[in-house]
Amino acid sequence: MWRLARDSQVLDVNSPYSYVLWCRDFASTSVVARDGDTACGFITGYTRPDQPDTLFVWQVAVDHAYRGLGLARRMLDGLGDRVAARGCRYLEATVTPGNTASTRMFESFARGRGCAVARSPLFTPEHFPDGHDPEVLFRIGPFPSSAQAAEAAGKAV
């Protein structure tokens, strides 16, 4: 995961130790995609302590060789299904204004779930010591209930 984050050349790279801890402590709210023994993508996320019905997606990374294949969206769909089954109704993530790939992925995820996307400023450059771009909060949801999803799937046939 650390290698994927570093090689992305766009993600903030955390310490290798933090990724190891993440895999231990937040495995149920994260995803690692593999091709054999090689990690080719990951999503790290956690359930917000003060909002247990909300998954916050921290980082999404896909190896350069696997980009353009829809891997990030498939990982996000799988993770969304997993957390929705446990009662999560919302997904949050922050996106910098120039990150069109992430913006499109989260918008596509929301459309696929029949959900709204609310955007609001969360962090400005003044919140960071290094001139970091602003971070806009995307809040997607509420996810439809299992019964609503099944009904929508039946109507789509």
| Domain tally, the chain | 1
Query: Helix 100-113 and helix 71-85: axis angle, to 10°?
Result: 50
pLDDT of residue 124: 82
Instruction: Flag whether the pTM goes above 0.85.
Output: yes
pLDDT of residue 10: 80
pLDDT of residue 154: 62
pLDDT of residue 12: 80
pLDDT of residue 116: 94
CB-based contacts of 91, cutoff 8 Å, min separation 6: 54, 55, 56, 57, 80, 83, 106, 109, 139, 140, 141, 143
pLDDT of residue 157: 46
pLDDT of residue 149: 53
Task: List strands edge to edge, sheet with 51-62.
Answer: 31-35, 38-48, 51-62, 90-95, 135-141, 116-123
Indicate the pairing of strand 135-141 with strand 90-95. Answer: antiparallel
- CATH number for 137: 3.40.630.30
pLDDT of residue 144: 84
Sign for the CA dihedral angle at 94, 31, 67, 17 comes to positive
| Strands (E) located in 98-142 | 116-123, 135-141
pLDDT of residue 152: 54
Domain ranges, residue 37: 2-156
pLDDT of residue 129: 84
pLDDT of residue 133: 85
Q: What is the pLDDT along the chain (157 residues), one digit of tens a residue?
A: 989 988 888 878 889 999 999 999 999 999 999 999 999 999 999 999 999 999 999 999 999 999 999 999 999 999 999 999 999 999 999 999 989 999 999 999 999 999 999 999 998 878 888 878 889 999 999 998 655 555 655 665 4
